[in-house]
């Protein structure tokens, strides 16, 4: 049994964190990582998404799994999935459209992660710019509000 599939959630979480620290994860882990995207623990799911993002376009299955993860009920998972898709570098219509859909997410941080991923991909500029303009008009000032991560560090 893979440690990603261990019955102990702490073991699964540690295994996913260890894999997330690898620079170049082996592609043979894709199936286990895709299953980990469905784990009950958010840390396992988000770490699996991070690893899949680093696999890049080497894995079609990873791209499909990450697109599905954009619809996860957990905000942290949607953030991780968007960021991972930005890393993957797949500029296909399905990836761009999936990220554009997240520009309308209820979470401001998910919206920002999706827009950052789209800018990282640098694909379909006209489509992305139009979608960003629509998102800005639809959400009003919500885009301008800082998140906790946007605030400058307090002086020490």
Would you state the pLDDT for residue 98?
A: 94
* Total structural domains within the chain: 1
CATH number of the structural domain spanning residue 39: 1.25.10.10
Residue 148 falls inside a structural domain = no
Residue 147 falls inside a structural domain = no
Provide block-wise average pLDDT over 10 residues at a time, the chain (156 residues).
Answer: 76 78 71 88 88 75 92 94 90 89 91 89 73 68 50 51
> What's 14's DSSP letter?
H
Give residue 95's domain range: 3-139
Would you state the pLDDT for residue 141?
A: 46
Would you state the pLDDT for residue 68?
A: 95
Q: Which of 76, 86, 88, 95 is nearest to 117 (CA)?
A: 86
Would you state the pLDDT for residue 11?
A: 84
Rounded CA separation 36/22 (Å): 16
Would you state the pLDDT for residue 82?
A: 95
The tokens describing 55, both together, are 């696999």
Would you state the pLDDT for residue 56?
A: 67
Q: How many residues does the chain have?
A: 156
């Amino acid at each position: 049994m893979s440690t990603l599939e261990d019955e102990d959630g702490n073991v699964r979480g540690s295994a996913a964190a260890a894999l997330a620290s690898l620079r170049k994860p082996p592609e043979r882990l894709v199936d286990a990582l895709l299953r980990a995207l469905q784990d009950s623990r958010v840390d396992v799911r988000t770490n699996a998404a991070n690893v899949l993002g680093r696999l890049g376009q080497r894995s079609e299955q990873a791209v499909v799994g990450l697109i599905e993860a954009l619809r996860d009920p957990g905000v942290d998972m949607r953030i991780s999935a968007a960021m991972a898709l930005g890393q993957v570098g797949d500029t296909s219509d399905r990836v761009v459209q999936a990220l554009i859909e997240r520009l309308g997410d209820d979470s401001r941080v998910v919206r920002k992660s999706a827009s950052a991923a789209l800018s990282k991909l640098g694909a379909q500029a006209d489509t992305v710019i139009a979608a960003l303009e629509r998102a800005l008009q639809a959400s009003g000032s919500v885009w301008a509000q800082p998140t906790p991560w946007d605030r400058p560090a307090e002086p020490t």
